[in-house]
């Protein structure tokens, strides 16, 4: 069990996570350790200032989502959850069922304490710390030499082992395992979410605890497929956070947009409350209008950076510019200048946006 003080945790995990560099994961951090951080002196002021400066710059590029003077304890606690999850991805740890159970209990307790972000500043600060989460990975080195071979997971091989490569016939090959490749070690085939050593649901909850970060990582493989949760919808209710998410999603490109549109259609299949459908409809329509205005606003020719948004475009066409203007806050004239006012409509059964519009109460159910 890791008993590092908060200064060591910031130095080894938080600072390289935020600024870039080698992240060090050392054991499981328990809620009692985090509680001790609250009673201990603050981290080194110079190091914390560097971290806050980087977070501040990252958030400034997203828009007016909040100020950063220091990092709250919930941001450290959420980072500790990720420390624990990454610790269990090591092959020697992932196979130890008691350790998995211990890590699960620690993570769930920390996540319960962290809770759902309730304000714009909390959403922003958590993202500021975890924005580079998707860039984490592990470099594994396979070394072959005259007497055999050895594998080194996440650490460099000893200098003595790779010395005199020609004489000792030493060959090195490196492989980088990305974040979701690492998290694959958390999957336990044949066990359900109620298993006391299951960590997939914990990792999902840890991602959703930073809703802005989670939205930007929507383009990811199964079993980590993105799903809308109350945490995301609560964050998107804030216009500044919603705008920041839309700008960042468009910057990431078509794959992220497609993953979010698929998540919206999946949410509609479970017949959510009407307000959920309306929140998602506003999110997609605003993102469509923002992209169109940004890429076409200065002229009549679409820019090459425009990202295809088939769900949002179909919803816009079916609603029409006047109704869409009410949802986006953009004038009808501006919308018709950058988006088609009318196109050929497909039959209802083939309409991509029908489930969303029906869920929002804007389209009648199809007659079967």
**pLDDT (0 to 100) of residue 302:** 40
Cα(66)–Cα(121) distance, rounded to whole angstroms?
Answer: 5
Whether 77 and 113 have beta carbons less than 8 Å apart is answered as yes
Cα(226)–Cα(211) distance, rounded to whole angstroms?
Answer: 11
**pLDDT (0 to 100) of residue 57:** 84
Mutual orientation of helices 239-252 and 120-130 as an angle, nearest 10°?
A: 30
Q: What is the mean pLDDT of each run of 10 residues along the chain (368 residues)?
A: 72 92 90 84 78 84 69 87 93 85 95 89 90 90 80 77 77 86 82 72 95 96 93 92 93 95 96 95 96 64 65 92 92 88 54 91 66
137-to-160, 174, 214 alpha-carbon distances in Å = 26, 13, 17
Phi, psi of 174 (to 5 degrees): -110, 145
**pLDDT (0 to 100) of residue 36:** 85
Whether 117 and 111 have beta carbons less than 8 Å apart is answered as no
Whether 224 and 183 have beta carbons less than 8 Å apart is answered as yes
For 305, residues 6+ apart whose C-beta sits below 8 A from its C-beta are 295
**pLDDT (0 to 100) of residue 279:** 96
**pLDDT (0 to 100) of residue 281:** 97
For 221, residues 6+ apart whose C-beta sits below 8 A from its C-beta are 180
What Rg, from alpha-carbon coordinates, does the chain have? 24
Cα(105)–Cα(140) distance, rounded to whole angstroms?
Answer: 29
Mutual orientation of helices 310-319 and 274-296 as an angle, nearest 10°?
A: 100
324-to-246, 291, 313, 316, 329 alpha-carbon distances in Å = 17, 15, 10, 6, 8
**pLDDT (0 to 100) of residue 72:** 79
């Amino acid at each position: 069990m890791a008993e590092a003080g908060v200064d060591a945790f910031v130095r080894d995990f938080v600072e390289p996570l935020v600024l870039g560099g080698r992240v060090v994961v050392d054991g499981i951090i328990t809620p009692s350790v985090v509680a001790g951080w609250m009673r201990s002196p603050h981290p080194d002021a110079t190091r914390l200032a560097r971290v806050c400066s980087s977070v501040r710059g990252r958030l400034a590029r997203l828009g007016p989502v909040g100020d950063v003077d220091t990092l709250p304890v919930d941001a450290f606690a959420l980072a500790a959850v990720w420390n624990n999850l990454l610790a269990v991805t090591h092959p020697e740890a992932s196979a130890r069922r008691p350790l998995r159970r211990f890590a699960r209990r620690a993570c769930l307790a920390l996540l319960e304490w962290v809770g759902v972000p309730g304000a714009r500043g909390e959403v922003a600060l958590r993202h500021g710390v975890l924005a580079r989460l998707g860039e984490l990975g592990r470099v594994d080195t396979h070394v072959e030499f005259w007497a055999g071979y050895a594998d080194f997971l996440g650490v460099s091989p000893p200098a003595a082992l790779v010395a005199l490569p020609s004489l000792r016939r030493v060959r090195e090959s490196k492989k980088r395992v990305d974040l979701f490749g690492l998290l694959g070690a958390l999957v336990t085939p044949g066990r359900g979410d109620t298993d006391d050593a299951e960590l997939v649901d914990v990792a999902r909850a840890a991602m959703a605890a930073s809703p802005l970060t989670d939205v930007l990582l929507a383009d990811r493989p199964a079993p980590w497929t993105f799903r809308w949760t109350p945490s995301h919808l609560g964050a998107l209710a804030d216009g500044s956070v919603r705008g920041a998410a839309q700008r960042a999603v468009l910057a990431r490109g078509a794959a992220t947009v497609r993953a979010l549109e698929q998540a919206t259609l999946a949410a509609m299949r479970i017949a959510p409350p009407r307000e959920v459908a309306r929140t998602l409809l506003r999110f997609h329509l605003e993102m469509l209008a923002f992209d169109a205005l940004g890429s076409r606003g200065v002229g009549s020719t679409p820019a090459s950076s425009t990202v295809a948004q088939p769900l949002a475009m179909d919803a816009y066409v079916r609603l029409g510019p006047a109704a869409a203007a009410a949802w986006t806050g953009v004038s009808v004239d501006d919308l018709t200048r950058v988006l088609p006012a009318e196109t050929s409509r497909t039959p209802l059964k083939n309409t991509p946006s029908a489930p969303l519009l029906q869920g929002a109460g804007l389209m009648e159910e199809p007659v079967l």
